[in-house]
Chain A
Amino acid sequence: MKTALAPARLGADDVLRVGLGGLRARPARVVLSALGIAIGIATMVAVIGISSSSKEDLLRRLDRLGTNLLTAKPGDTLFGDKAELPESAPGMVGRIGPVTAVGATGSVTATVRRTDRIPDEVTQGIAVQAATPDLLGTLGVGTASGSRLNAGTGRYPGVVLGSEAARRLGLDRAGGQVWIGGRWFVVVGVLRPAGLAPEIDRSALVGWDAARRYLGFDGHPTTIYERSTDASVGDVRDVLARTVSPEHPEEVEVSRPSDALEAKAAAAGAFTGLLLGLGAVALLVGGVGVANTMVVSVLERRREIGLRRSLGATRGQVRVQFLAESLLLSAFGGAAGVVLGAAVTTGFALWKDWPPVVPVWALGGALAATLAIGTAAGLYPAMRAARLPPTAALAAP
């Protein structure tokens, strides 16, 4: 008759079933306390998701624009005057081995206006620049309307407007005329945004020769753009200043426009700490809500606990049951929060025209946070439940 007494193991499926059963008996309370967790998780997932989407967008743009573009600009002379680049500089740069394309712009003093009746001083922040024929090809800027400057339009009074310049002038398509330096120029093209060279967006580009002929351009380039193979960007950078201005290489400022975008992408990835902290606080409050629900639940269910003990549940099995309930509660909240956070991220990203990205590590983090909160919130109530005496089932109502 006498055999060794060892409690049977409660299978994981039974733990789950009992835990779910406990929650199902109080649905409204479950929804409300899971909501706290959901809001916290959703905030954190959305904050991470949105900043990741923004970063992804910048990285994709960078990918499209390339990181092999270098610019050379005149710096200051030893005496503090503005330096001047030699007229021959673009040609010299083109002769550097790995360089695949060269373009240049040169500042022109003239201003561009809609009509001759607008006073000379109203520039609207638009610079008139001479452009070499290869400039737009080097930058990879396409036209939104009309065509680029070519040999024909380059010599006669034609102008190509940068995207921002066109917007400010109120000309969204090619075909109109603008007043530059005392004569009418035909707008032969309107450009798309130039990406790596935002200064082009705010420029009215006139052909190199036309600028000399009609606008008194002196022929000295003020920005030289060049592209080389990706592998040789560093080598080109080393020799660029000397090539542009063999006599005064120290007066040449060389820069890589993609660096700015790269820095921006890095900054976008470092998500906004304040919002993340806000999400963490919401999560904490949610966890307190779950703990509260569980404590109340243990108080209310003294008799159920006693009954389970009389049916043969060990203290450990009672503890596991309440821990499971707390974990499930917080997992429901976490799952809802992830879905909500992902939905907010997707909505916001699509609105901003970004690729929606929710990093896997954020989902893993949400899961880990949910489990940690569920455990922390359930531990104390579960211990209390386990400590209740089995006689609680017989206690008078």
Chain B
Amino acid sequence: MNTLGADAQGENIVELSGVTKEYAGGVQALRGVDLVIAPGELVAIAGPSGSGKSTLLHMIGTLDRPSGGGVRVAGHAVADLSDRELSALRARHIGFVFQQFHLAAGVSALDNVADGLLYGGAGLTERRERARAALERVGLGERTTHRPHQLSGGEQQRVAVARAIVGEPDLLLADEPTGNLDTAAGAGVLALLDELNRAGTTVAIITHDLEVASRAPRRVRVRDGLVVADERAEVGSR
């Protein structure tokens, strides 16, 4: 079922093999994707609109199941897991950052971040302590009591990043994290993701911005539901 299922590959965080995804209505969003992400990598997934980037992220993030092929995340074969187990997998191993920040209005930055731990079993006090530390990591240690409407777009996305990493996930997935930000704020968020990666977090960023992608150490290019390029290169700016 899984061509990469050998024990030797068990250490990879993500292993996709021949993954296809067909949506109702016959749209082939993914048409046989093989992709392996090892711990500590920073991968930029780029491609034109409609190429299947978000669908790919759903597969990697276990938000959806493939129509065909195998998906292993953090050593677990997704096909073998129930919906409950997938939830636990996401709670423990994966952090998400979305284009829209999805912060709860009227709730402080601290509690928005603490919600990242809500389904992991920690008590409120511990959740808040760790949320404070996460906010400090993203440079918002002074903004813990601010509500989303009192923060700039860039700051809001940083809060969302803090929420994604507060549980110290093995994998951080970001779908167009700079899509709603101006260049300066976007650069700030990318720099933050870069910094988190250097500190050890595995990061996958989806973007259609080739300039953004070109700065990543590994660039995966998607077109029409297929991986058409997978380059690793030393990048000057890094």
Residues of A within 8 A of B (CB): 1-2, 5-11, 13-14, 17-18, 21, 24-25, 303-304, 307-317, 389-391, 393-394, 397
Query: Taking the complex as formed, is B11 at the interface, i.e. its CB lies under 8 A from any CB of chain A?
Result: yes
Nearest chain A CB to B236 CB, angstrom units: 32
Could you pull out 17 A-B pairs where Cβ atoms are within 8 angstroms?
A2-B76, A5-B76, A5-B85, A10-B118, A11-B123, A21-B107, A307-B98, A310-B96, A311-B91, A311-B115, A313-B91, A314-B119, A390-B90, A391-B63, A393-B63, A393-B98, A394-B57
Q: In the bound complex, do residue B121 and residue A9 qualify as a contact, i.e. CB atoms below 8 Å apart?
A: yes
* CA–CA, A390 and B118, complex, Å: 16
**Known interface pairs A7-B87, A10-B118, A312-B120; A2-B10 also in contact (CB < 8 Å):** yes
Extra A-B contacts (14), CB below 8 Å, given A313-B87, A393-B102? A1-B10, A1-B74, A6-B85, A7-B84, A8-B121, A304-B102, A310-B63, A310-B96, A311-B96, A312-B92, A314-B87, A391-B58, A393-B96, A394-B99
Contacts of A17 in B (CB 8 A): 124
- Checking A7, A14, A394 against B98 with a beta-carbon cut-off of 8 angstroms, the contacting residue is A394
Contacts of B87 in A (CB 8 A): 7, 309, 312-315, 317
* CA–CA, A390 and B94, complex, Å: 13
- Checking B75, B84, B86, B104 against A2 with a beta-carbon cut-off of 8 angstroms, the contacting residue is B75
Query: Taking the complex as formed, is B182 at the interface, i.e. its CB lies under 8 A from any CB of chain A?
Result: no
Nearest chain A CB to B56 CB, angstrom units: 12
**Known interface pairs A1-B75, A10-B119, A389-B64; A312-B88 also in contact (CB < 8 Å):** yes
Residues of B within 8 A of A (CB): 10-11, 54, 57-58, 61, 63-64, 74-76, 81, 83-92, 94, 96, 98-100, 102, 104-107, 115-116, 118-121, 123-124, 163, 175
Q: In the bound complex, do residue B100 and residue A311 qualify as a contact, i.e. CB atoms below 8 Å apart?
A: no
Q: In the bound complex, do residue A311 and residue B116 qualify as a contact, i.e. CB atoms below 8 Å apart?
A: yes
* CA–CA, A17 and B104, complex, Å: 13
Q: Which of A24, A309, A313, A394 has the most CB of B within 10 A?
A: A394
Q: In the bound complex, do residue A390 and residue B88 qualify as a contact, i.e. CB atoms below 8 Å apart?
A: no
The number of A-B residue pairs with CB atoms under 8 Å apart is 111
* CA–CA, A137 and B175, complex, Å: 95
Q: In the bound complex, do residue B88 and residue A8 qualify as a contact, i.e. CB atoms below 8 Å apart?
A: yes
Nearest chain B CB to A310 CB, angstrom units: 5
Q: In the bound complex, do residue A5 and residue B89 qualify as a contact, i.e. CB atoms below 8 Å apart?
A: yes
Nearest chain B CB to A301 CB, angstrom units: 10
Contacts of A315 in B (CB 8 A): 83-84, 87
**Known interface pairs A14-B118, A312-B120; A25-B88 also in contact (CB < 8 Å):** no
Contacts of B92 in A (CB 8 A): 5, 312
Q: In the bound complex, do residue A7 and residue B105 qualify as a contact, i.e. CB atoms below 8 Å apart?
A: no
**Known interface pairs A1-B10, A312-B87, A389-B63; A7-B124 also in contact (CB < 8 Å):** no
Nearest chain A CB to B177 CB, angstrom units: 12
Contacts of A21 in B (CB 8 A): 104, 107
Q: In the bound complex, do residue B119 and residue A312 qualify as a contact, i.e. CB atoms below 8 Å apart?
A: yes
Contacts of B58 in A (CB 8 A): 391, 394
**Known interface pairs A314-B84, A390-B63; A8-B119 also in contact (CB < 8 Å):** yes
The 7 A-B pairs of least Cβ separation, nearest first, read A312-B91, A8-B121, A312-B119, A2-B75, A5-B88, A5-B85, A390-B63
- Checking B10, B100, B107, B120 against A397 with a beta-carbon cut-off of 8 angstroms, the contacting residue is B100
